[in-house]
């Protein structure tokens, strides 16, 4: 089955209003900028999708990528660990005006909730956040004399991720730190869309080098020279 999609616009065409979308990236490392911008372009042309729940490590910087997605009013809720990073003005202004909801999740807990979603584990216990406001309303249990907070799995309708190489079957490799959340998000989403720097034929990737097996990937779209969020921000870029 050939999972290659010809254009970015086609790749994101099926994301509806109200969808939950996991977006890979640790800051700009591994962030699928082109897929995010294609989603924004679709919204500007059609008015959809909107009211999205976006799950990411942060709430974006500057006026590109996730920050641009938020700036267009497409995001109803952010689930993230770092809503305030280098230049978070877009999210901050909307949050303070009550126009976007925030679910704050410690970074390790966020990663484990996503991993649990992909592994089919509905809940787990962690000591992180015990005794803080983040634990309010959550079940607490004691194990070996220490208190732990129950956290639920985290799944999504779609995942947008960035990989280095992808073959026609959807098998993926990543470049260094760009790997971050991509593999677990691919497992936790009902539909995974990956932008890859190189689209190759099946069998071109050594099976020992595959990080995300193609069974977890629905579409790949080739972006030979992907943009880097930090470089765009240093240049003062805005999207659109």
pLDDT band at 17 (very low <50, low <70, confident <90, very high): very high
Answer yes or no: is pLDDT of 69 > 90. Answer: yes
> What's the rounded mean pLDDT across residues 103-114?
98
Helix (H, G, I), strand (E, B) or coil at 89: helix
Residue 1 within any structural domain of the chain: no
pLDDT band at 157 (very low <50, low <70, confident <90, very high): very high
Residue 43 within any structural domain of the chain: yes
Return d(Cα 167, Cα 94) in angstroms, integer: 40
> What's the rounded mean pLDDT across residues 219-233?
96
Answer yes or no: is pLDDT of 167 > 90. Answer: yes
Q: What is the pLDDT of residue 190?
A: 98
Residue 16 within any structural domain of the chain: yes
- Find out whether 78 and 91 touch, Cβ atoms under 8 Å: yes
The fraction of the chain above a pLDDT of 90, given in percent, is 97
Q: Is the dihedral of CA 175, 235, 68, 151 positive or negative?
A: positive
Q: What is the pLDDT of residue 122?
A: 98
Q: What is the pLDDT of residue 219?
A: 98
Residue 235 within any structural domain of the chain: no
Q: 238: which 2 tokens?
A: 């805005």
Residue 240 within any structural domain of the chain: no
- Find out whether 32 and 23 touch, Cβ atoms under 8 Å: yes
Q: What is the pLDDT of residue 86?
A: 78
Q: Which domain holds residue 107?
A: 8-223
Answer yes or no: is pLDDT of 84 > 90. Answer: no
pLDDT band at 35 (very low <50, low <70, confident <90, very high): very high
Mean pLDDT for the chain overall: 97
- Give how many domains the chain has, as a whole number: 1
Q: What is the pLDDT of residue 201?
A: 96
- Find out whether 154 and 187 touch, Cβ atoms under 8 Å: no
> What's the rounded mean pLDDT across residues 204-212?
97
pLDDT digits (tens, 9 = 90+) for 141-154: 999 999 999 999 99
pTM of the model: 0.96
CATH number of domain containing 94: 3.40.1080.10
Residue 2 within any structural domain of the chain: no
> What's the rounded mean pLDDT across residues 20-32?
96
- Find out whether 16 and 190 touch, Cβ atoms under 8 Å: no
Return d(Cα 62, Cα 87) in angstroms, integer: 5
> What's the rounded mean pLDDT across residues 46-68?
97
Of residues 102, 106, 35, 103, the one with CA closest to residue 66:
35
Residue 184 within any structural domain of the chain: yes
Identify the bridge partners of residue 193 per DSSP, sorted by sequence position. Answer: 160, 219
Q: How many helices (H) and strands (E) does the chain have?
A: 7, 11
pLDDT band at 138 (very low <50, low <70, confident <90, very high): very high
Q: 42: which 2 tokens?
A: 């679709």
> What's the rounded mean pLDDT across residues 46-72?
97
pLDDT band at 88 (very low <50, low <70, confident <90, very high): confident
Residue 18 within any structural domain of the chain: yes
Answer yes or no: is pLDDT of 87 > 90. Answer: no
């Amino acid at each position: 089955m050939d999972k290659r999609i010809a254009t970015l616009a086609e790749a994101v065409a099926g994301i509806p209003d109200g969808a939950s979308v996991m977006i890979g990236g640790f800051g700009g490392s591994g962030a699928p900028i082109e897929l995010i911008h294609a989603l924004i372009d679709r919204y500007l042309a059609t008015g959809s999708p909107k009211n999205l729940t976006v799950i990411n490590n942060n709430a974006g910087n500057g006026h590109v990528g996730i920050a641009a997605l938020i700036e267009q009013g497409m995001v109803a809720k952010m689930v993230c660990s770092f809503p305030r990073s280098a230049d978070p003005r877009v999210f901050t202004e909307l949050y303070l005006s009550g126009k976007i909801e925030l679910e704050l999740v410690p970074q390790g807990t966020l990663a484990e909730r996503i991993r649990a979603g992909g592994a089919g584990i509905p809940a787990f216990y962690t000591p992180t956040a015990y005794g803080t406001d983040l634990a309010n309303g959550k079940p607490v249990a004691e194990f070996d004399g220490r208190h732990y907070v129950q956290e639920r799995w985290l799944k999504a309708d779609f995942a947008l991720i960035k990989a280095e190489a992808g073959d026609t079957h959807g098998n993926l490799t990543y470049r260094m730190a760009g790997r971050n959340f991509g593999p677990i998000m691919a497992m936790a989403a009902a539909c995974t869309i990956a932008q890859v720097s190189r689209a190759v034929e099946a069998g071109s990737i050594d099976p020992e080098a595959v990080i995300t097996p193609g069974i977890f990937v629905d579409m790949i779209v080739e972006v030979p020279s992907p943009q880097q969020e930090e470089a765009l921000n240093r240049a003062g870029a805005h999207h659109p």
